[in-house]
Each structure stands twice: as structure tokens, then as C-alpha cells.
Amino acid sequence: MALSIDQASRVFIDPAAYADDDYFDGACSLLRRESPFHLVTDPAGFFNPFWVATRHADVLEIELHNDVFLNEPRPVLGPAESDRRNAENGHMLRTLIHVDDTEHRELRGVTSEWFLPKNLAKLDARLTELARIYVDKMASMDGECDFARDIAMHMPLNVILDILGLPESDYPRMLRLTQELFGSADEDLRRGDDPQAIIEVIQDFFAYFTRITEERRANPTNDLASAVANGRIDGAELSMMQTISYYVITATAGHDTTASAMAGGLHALIRFPDQMARMKSDPSLVATAADEIIRWVTPVKHFMRTAATDYTLASGHTVRAGESVLLSYPSANRDEAVFADPFTFDVGRSPNKHLSFGFGVHYCLGAMLARMEIKALLTELIPRLDSIELAGEPALMKTIFVGGLKRLPVRYEMR
Ligand code: HEM
């Protein structure tokens, strides 16, 4: 049965829809064609209404007009009940994605140097070493593994612990907390069915990072945690809320996102063996391949903006002050107006104007690092793979925010 436009627009409030690529892509294609800027209403009233921007041009224009389209007070789509609680008590966290304008610029300035290419270049050797460790692990697993769970899930978290300077013994705790934060819509990943559980997860983050902040203030080192703990804005320390929020975003933003790209990337290379063959015969394709993987997977499904004043987009749609717009990155990344054959996975795609990292002032701080990680893994993995195929059904996470494959069973021969 054909989907109506209103039904299609409800994929953005349906975690299960994101776990079904064909259904989700079909709904977005319909919207891009028939109603590219659509008002989404939830018949159950669980979510407050919002506009959704499904075309690349509208997403870009909104991201670029950050004086009108603010991250506050609704940076991410959440239940109406959370909107109400946040309006009353403020957000539980105050990270870069929760703030605008001067506060955002100043907070971002605290770590932006850390993420500059010349600083990240120092990580290259460690990334190669980590890639080798994980590819060796895969090689030791008797020709079968769940690539999402056994490999992709772990390498990005290892990188984050390294840059934050956290001890290896804290690894299991961080893994659990980041999965519980982003997997709150998935029964396999979340802490419990009680909506209160997510609050407990955030409280656990607070407890853990309060201790780290105290340690780094007493004994500063060269890691990112020290840069945050001892960061200054106009000569003053960051507030505890800002400091801990900073750790939470660096610890979480680079984990499930990059892991999803790695697992989704290998899945795409298995589905399209001609692209795997191209990469084997021309390793220099790794740079364009990394970006194509990030476009193909689009691990971050949306961010939101709320209009400070009435604004009419070049496409003619008017957003009124106080109304929110969901920026659909997966839809923008399949927009036929920008991408030739958007449903073709092309490891040599160039240019590749994907919006997987957003755009403008909030552009992903870790974009360069994420690309380096994916390139390091592919560079190590591809030449060692003699053959690879699926060994079972892959499964996507149920989510409306960040996610990708939670299971990718594979069978392979490698050296
Ligand atoms: C493939 C992996 C990744 C994807 C797809 C991704 C995607 C995104 C997106 C869409 C945004 C919001 C941009 C906007 O609003 O315009 C963002 C922001 C951010 N990302 Fe990433 N990210 C990835 C990896 C990382 C990594 C590895 C880190 C750091 C370790 C990181 C740290 C951040 C931070 C701190 C922000 C907030 C920036 C701000 O609001 O100023 N991300 N990311």
C-alpha cells in the first residue's frame, strides 16, 4: 500500500523506521519530491509538532543562518514531556550543541586547537597501531565475527579514551554509558524501560567526570581532559556544568557515530563487491571512500533548530518565530539535486557535499578525527581481506538520533 505524505513524515518520530533502510529511504524520497518542507505532527501527542527539512538546500540554508536558527531550546528531537521539563528546569547538560552565539564560540574555543589538523597529525601513528590491533583481533577469530560488536564498536572508543587521557580500566564503564545514552530507544541497548533511566545514565556521567575534573585541576597533564578542566573563558574556569557537559559530548559524540560508519562502511563494501575490488586495486581511494561511507551511513540522523524570528527560506517556506525544524541529514544526503545517483555507493565520489557532519558554526568538531579513524581502519583491513560475506542478517539500531548497525555477522578469509 502506498504511503501518504503524512505517514511518510512520521518516520522521523519512529525509531523502528530508522532500523528499516528501504522504508525510511522511500519515505524521504516521497517527501523530497512531494512535500520537502513538511510539518510533522504526532497523532499520539508524544512529540510536539516540528517542520522537517528533507532537501539539501534547505538544511544548508538553515545551518548557515545560525543568527536566526538557534540550537536552543530544542537541539535534538525529544518527547513533548522532555521539552516541557527542559523549558522549566533547563537541559540536564550544557554542551556545544545546547548553546548559541557567544557562549558557543567561547566554549568551542576551549578545545578547537586540539582538533586542528596539525595537532591531530600526532595521532596518526597511534591510529595505525589501533587499526592493526583490531584487524589482528578479527584475524584471530577463526573467520567469523560480528564486525559491529567485536570490532567497530571498540576502536573509536579506544581513540576517545586515549585523547581524553582516561585509563583503560574505565573502558567498560564508558562503553556501557555511551551505548545507554544513544541507545535509549532500543530495547537491546537501553538501561531499562523506565524513562527515568536516561536521567540516571546522565547522573552516572556526572559522577564519573566530576572525579576526572578534580584530578586534572589538581594535576594537569597534556590530555584533552586537562584542556577542558583547566580551560578559561575571559579568565574564568568553565562552570562544573559546562566542564562535565564537555566531557560527555567528546566521549559520546565520537563513539557510536564513528563505530556506525565503520560497520556500515564494511557492509556497503560487502554489498557492492565492485567497490571493494576498486579499493583493493587502488588504495589511494581511501580518502574519498571514507567520505562516501560517512554519506552512505549518515550516523547522525538529525539535529534541530528553532527560529528566533520569522524567516522565509529561498525555497519559499516560511518558519515562524518559535517553530522548530528538524534537519534530516540522511535525506539531504540522498538528494538527487546534489548527488548524481545518490543511491549508488561510489568509493570514488568527488565532489561529495554530504551533510553528515552538519555545516556552519556547529560543524562537527571531530570530523577530521573521524575521517582519520575510518581511513586507518580501511588501510589496514582491505589489503588483508581475501574474501568476506555476510554470515547472518545485519541489524540496525532503533533510534531517532544517532545510530547504525548494531549487528553485522561476517564470514571471511584474511591474512
Ligand atoms: C562519523 C563520525 C561523526 C559524525 C557523522 C558526526 C556528526 C556530527 C554532527 C551532524 C554534528 C552537528 C553539526 C551541526 O549541528 O551542524 C556534530 C557535532 C559535534 N561532533 Fe561530531 N560526528 C562524528 C564524529 C565525531 C568525533 C570523532 C568527535 C570527537 C571526538 C565529535 C565531536 C563533535 C562535537 C564536540 C560536536 C559539537 C560541535 C558544536 O556544536 O560546535 N564528532 N557531529
**pLDDT tens per residue, range 354-397:** 999 999 999 999 999 999 999 999 999 999 999 999 999 999 99
pLDDT over threshold 80, residue 105: yes
Look at the block and give the residue holding cell 522532555: 82
Q: What pLDDT sits at residue 178?
A: 80
Give the chain's mean pLDDT: 94
Let me know: does 227 contact 110? Beta carbons within 8 Å. Answer: yes
| 324-341: pLDDT as tens digits | 999 999 999 999 999 999
| Average pLDDT of span 227-249 | 91
Cα–Cα distance for residue pair 181/62, rounded to 1 Å: 27
pLDDT tens-place string over residues 118-171? 999 999 999 999 999 999 999 999 999 999 999 999 999 999 989 999 988 998
Residue 246 reports pLDDT greater than 80: yes
Task: Give the domain extent around 118.
Answer: 5-414
Distance CA 371, CA 352 (A): 14
| pLDDT (tens digit per residue) in 167-183 | 889 988 888 888 787 66
Identify the CATH number of the domain in which residue 366 sits.
1.10.630.10
Confidence of residue 45 (pLDDT cuts 50, 70, 90): very high
CA distance 415 to 413: 7
Per-residue b/e over 79-108, b at no fewer than 16 CB within 10 Å? Answer: eeebbeebeeeebbbbbbbbbbeeebebbb
Question: Which residues line the pocket of ligand 1, CB cutoff 6 A?
Answer: 63, 96-97, 108, 160, 249-250, 253-254, 257-258, 261, 294, 299-300, 303, 356-360, 362-366, 369-370
What are 237's three cell numbers? 574556569
Q: Which residues of 113-125 are buried (b: 16+ CB within 10 A; e: fewer)?
A: ebbeeeebeebee
Determine the atom of ligand 1 nearest the C-alpha atom of 111: 35
Distance 97 CA to ligand 1 centre (A): 9
Helix spans in 35-94 (H): 56-64, 80-89
Q: What is the torsion angle, in degrees rounded to the nearest 10, for the CA atoms of residue 236, residue 240, residue 242 and residue 245?
A: 150
**What pLDDT score was predicted for residue 176?**
86
Q: What is the pLDDT of residue 312?
A: 98
Residue 184: the pLDDT is 65
Q: Is the pLDDT of residue 298 over 70?
A: yes
Number of Cβ atoms within 10 Å of the Cβ of 135: 22
Residue among 357, 373, 374, 399 whose CB has most ligand 1 atoms within 8 A, to mutate: 357
Q: Indicate whether 22 pLDDT > 90.
A: yes
Q: How many domains does the chain have?
A: 1
**Would the pLDDT of 1 be above 70?**
no
Q: Residue range 267-285: average pLDDT?
A: 98
Mutate which of 364, 368, 375, 402 for ligand 1? The one with the most ligand atoms within 8 Å of its CB, which is 364
What is the per-residue pLDDT for 44? 95
